[in-house]
Amino acid sequence: MVTITDVARAAGVSRSTASYAFSGRRTISTVVRDRVAAAAHDLGYTPNAGARALKTSRTHVIGLLAQFLPDEFAPAMLQYMLGVSDTARDLGYDILLAIDDDGVGALRRLTSSRMVDGVVLLNVAEDDPRLPALRAAHQPGALVGLPRDCRGVDVFDLDFAEAGRLMVDRLVRQGHREILLVSQSEDVVARGGAYVWRHQEGALERAARHGVQLTCVFGASAQPEIGHQLDRLLTDHPGVTALMLNNEAAAAALPGVLGGRGLRVPEDLSVVGRYSRELAETFALPFSAVESAPDVLGRMAVEQLVRRIERRGPDEPHTVRLVAPTLVDRGSIGPPPTP
Amino acid sequence: MVTITDVARAAGVSRSTASYAFSGRRTISTVVRDRVAAAAHDLGYTPNAGARALKTSRTHVIGLLAQFLPDEFAPAMLQYMLGVSDTARDLGYDILLAIDDDGVGALRRLTSSRMVDGVVLLNVAEDDPRLPALRAAHQPGALVGLPRDCRGVDVFDLDFAEAGRLMVDRLVRQGHREILLVSQSEDVVARGGAYVWRHQEGALERAARHGVQLTCVFGASAQPEIGHQLDRLLTDHPGVTALMLNNEAAAAALPGVLGGRGLRVPEDLSVVGRYSRELAETFALPFSAVESAPDVLGRMAVEQLVRRIERRGPDEPHTVRLVAPTLVDRGSIGPPPTP
DNA sequence: TCCAATCGTCGAACCGGTTCGAATGGCGTG
DNA sequence: CACGCCATTCGAACCGGTTCGACGATTGGA
């Protein structure tokens, strides 16, 4: 491996001069700088990341803590990861990926060994056990997902309460009076996925205000259970004219269920979901949906994290940013059928 | 940050003694070892990864080079990543994730700055431009995907030719005489996805031997195009009694298409795909399929890579391992309908 | 003409580990 | 009692960068 010593020798200067020639932190004559650059190029020199990190205590690596839980929709998580990864690359950072059942352990390992300059936590739960560990580590962290206690971290999430309101408003405006909301599985809620509650409460609040009937159920997260469940729900609630889905697996299963029952959308049933544009395209999900914007959230988290890393600003106040939901119209919302 | 010097001071020993107490590379009295361990525990000591890497020139990090190409099915790629990540963790390695349009640049960056001990390349093409860069880097590499030139690397892939044979054999044994094979998009082939050819040639060989008609087409990779295309194909080839899919998007779209045409599987049409068990479960894909085993391939790649990293065996001969395909029966293959 | 300021460069220390050679002390043995 | 051996421990060098203080050579101003 070629080191800066080799470059310095080839250029006939001292190591420190070579270093300054690269960093430009002191004035170096142009002839020397060119000679150093030429030598580096000829020898194929790249600085050793470990050595540099040791001295500067900056690794230019961001830890990405993801978790793939059995009752969650893996491809949705992927979208967040891609958003984070792309942004990091744009800002000159690499991603150390920790997909670990033991998220706390992984977090501690990365931070305490100084492998990373900061971390992004995905899928943060109401009382996420990783948060105390993050606060103990003296490294900045950005979250995707809204915990109860946001002290000391930057937080980004979709405004799920507003999403619930938006979906109900939209359906009621079309004339629907009996709506069924299928949320994520109860396990997700039990694990602290408070966004399910926030969404549901936003929806219930608006339903009450409009005086319409909103039935809330937790949906299964696996196939084919969720399909059977949807079928059963449609049988049990014949008066329902609109379906709200806060559950990707349900959205994926619904076309098959509708086909089986011979129902057309939106003529027989209106449907509004909550998933990303990417997901809709990959799986041909034909429903209007609130955009969950994983790429945007991932990007915001990384940008804020890098700002905090580079501007050394643990003092600067921390952010909690809830992104306003937008509804992507795919034509699955219409007036209720006339009986 | 607490360093080994702090620990040594707290334990009343020299830095080297503390280091030996941890590594056990020299005999240290039990009382001293215990004192050092206690001090380390009290102070919350974790060795600095950069410093250790600098001295040992081992980072315990593996580079994972993935690429999400526009005409490929992202969730399928995710399965490989998870296999790699899980195995790495089991073996005590972390994953540096590089999802980069410029795969060559990313590879060079990771290897020449010594951020990683070795790399896993996913989605390797016939003449993958990353391979020359990998050979130039003096780091071991393991590939998932079979390139033309396998020198200097360990290669793992599904035996796609055998998969093609297996699928045809199975259909012919049931009595099918007119089969339609929908492969990946032509763009994938153009980019060097030779596995599409290998699969197709295996299938054609067997079809010829059995004297049955096999029509091969390249399918679109995006929704909803692939669905429309499948619909058109079924119209244009009314004699076809069995469908072979080497295209995840097609498998995802097919249930909708079949529903639209009122076709039942396997009574009206037999279907056999090629995708992983995971994918089948996530999207409720109801078709029998050759298991693409991304988790197994990812695992094998990492295990071999770590073996080569740790046993310093660039001399040991390199492997090319084609995994034998297995067919997972989901009941979508039956005899052709009687006219 | 002399002194101070500036420019360009070098040497050395340091980051936090690991590891080699040597020093210390206790023990058994001839 | 002298010797050598072994078990422990320490000091110092090194990995490959960065950075501070110092120094010689110019240059400018008084």
Cβ < 7 Å from nucleic strand D: A 1-5, 15-16, 19-20, 22-23, 25, 45-48, 51-52, 54-56; B 12-17, 20, 26-29, 31-33, 51, 54-55, 57
Interface of A with B in 280-339 (CB under 8 A): 281-284
Which residues touch A16 (CB under 8 Å, ≥6 apart)?
A: none
- Alpha carbon distance A194, B245 (integer Å): 40
Instruction: Identify whether the C-beta of residue B54 lies closer than 8 Å to the C-beta of residue A71.
Output: no
**Closest residue, by C-alpha, to the C1' of C20:** B16
The rounded Cα A323 to chain-centroid distance in angstroms is 12
Which residues touch B281 (CB under 8 Å, ≥6 apart)?
A: A222, A223
Distance of B14 CA from D4 C1′ (whole Å) = 27
- The residue count of chain A comes to 339
Q: What percent of chain B has pLDDT over 90?
A: 87
Taking each continuous run of H as one helix and of E as one strand, the counts in chain A are 14, 12
> What is chain A's pLDDT, residue by residue, as a tens digit (339 residues)?
899 999 999 999 999 999 999 999 999 999 999 999 999 999 999 999 999 999 999 999 999 999 998 888 899 999 999 999 999 999 999 999 999 899 999 999 999 999 999 999 999 999 999 999 999 998 999 999 999 999 999 999 999 999 999 999 999 999 999 999 999 999 999 998 899 999 999 999 999 999 999 999 999 998 889 999 999 999 999 999 999 999 999 998 998 899 889 899 999 999 999 999 999 988 888 999 999 999 999 999 999 999 999 986 667 889 999 999 999 999 999 999 987
Find the mean pLDDT for residues B300-320: 88
- Closest-approach nucleotide to residue B18, Cα vs C1': D9
Mutate which: B67, B97, B248, vs A, most A CBs within 10 A = B97
Instruction: Output the DSSP codes for A203-228.
Output: HHHHHHHHT-EEEEEEPP-STTHHHH
**Could you count the other beta carbons within 10 Å of the beta carbon of residue B211?**
8
- A58 strand C contact, CB < 7 Å: no
- Alpha carbon distance A222, A27 (integer Å): 63
Rounded (5°) CA angle A146-A298-B247: 120
Looking at residue B224, its pLDDT comes to 85
Distance of A17 CA from D22 C1′ (whole Å) = 15
Average pLDDT of chain A to the nearest whole number: 94
Looking at residue A69, its pLDDT comes to 87
Task: Tell me the three state secondary structure of residue B223.
Answer: coil
The 10s digit of each residue's pLDDT in A311-320 is: 866 678 899 9
Work out the pLDDT band at B339, boundaries 50, 70, 90.
Answer: confident
Looking at residue B220, its pLDDT comes to 93
Both structure tokens of B309: 């990293």
Which residues touch B47 (CB under 8 Å, ≥6 apart)?
A: A113, B4, B22
CB contact under 8 A, A114 and B74: no
Identity of the residue in B64, B68, B259 whose CB atom sits nearest the CB atom of A256: B259
Work out the pLDDT band at B314, boundaries 50, 70, 90.
Answer: low
Identify the CATH assignment for A160-291 out of 3.40.50.620, 3.90.320.10, 3.40.50.300, 3.40.50.2300.
3.40.50.2300
Q: Which CATH architecture has domain B160-292?
A: 3-Layer(aba) Sandwich (3.40)
User: In the β-sheet with A327-328, what is the strand arrangement from edge to edge?
Assistant: A213-218, A178-183, A242-245, A270-274, A288-290, A327-328
How many Cα atoms are found within 13 Å in the side-chain-facing hemisphere of A306? Answer: 20
Is residue A85 packed enough to be buried (19+ CB in 10 Å), middle (13-18) or exposed (0-12)? buried
The 10s digit of each residue's pLDDT in B149-202 is: 999 999 999 999 999 999 999 999 999 999 999 999 999 999 988 999 999 999
Instruction: Identify whether the C-beta of residue A84 lies closer than 8 Å to the C-beta of residue A73.
Output: no
Instruction: Identify whether the C-beta of residue A97 lies closer than 8 Å to the C-beta of residue A78.
Output: no
Q: Do domains A61-158+294-323 and A160-291 have the same CATH topology?
A: yes
Looking at residue A339, its pLDDT comes to 72
Interface of A with B in 60-79 (CB under 8 A): 61, 64, 68, 73-75, 78
Identity of the residue in B51, B94, B113 whose CB atom sits nearest the CB atom of A49: B113
Instruction: Identify whether the C-beta of residue A79 lies closer than 8 Å to the C-beta of residue A295.
Output: yes
CB contact under 8 A, A284 and B253: yes
Torsion of CA B27, B32, B36, B41, to 10 degrees: 110
Find the mean pLDDT for residues B99-106: 94
The 10s digit of each residue's pLDDT in A65-108 is: 999 988 888 999 999 999 999 999 999 999 999 998 999 999 99
Given a cut of 80, whether residue B299 has pLDDT beyond it is yes
Question: What are the structural domain ranges in chain B?
Answer: 4-47, 61-158+294-323, 160-292
Interface of B with A in 5-24 (CB under 8 A): none
The DSSP call for residue B316 is S
Q: Which amino acid, A281?
A: E
Relative orientation angle of helices B15-23 and B30-43, to the nearest 10 degrees: 100
- Closest-approach nucleotide to residue A5, Cα vs C1': D16
B61-158+294-323: CATH topology is Rossmann fold (3.40.50)
Q: Which amino acid, A86?
A: D
Both structure tokens of B167: 């699928």
Q: What percent of chain A has pLDDT over 70?
A: 99
- Alpha carbon distance A232, A251 (integer Å): 15
Looking at residue A312, its pLDDT comes to 64
Instruction: Identify whether the C-beta of residue A323 lies closer than 8 Å to the C-beta of residue A156.
Output: yes
CA distances in angstroms from A284 to A80, B244, B256, listed in the order given: 20, 21, 10
CB contact under 8 A, A48 and B54: yes
Residue A253's H or E segment, with its range, is helix A248-261
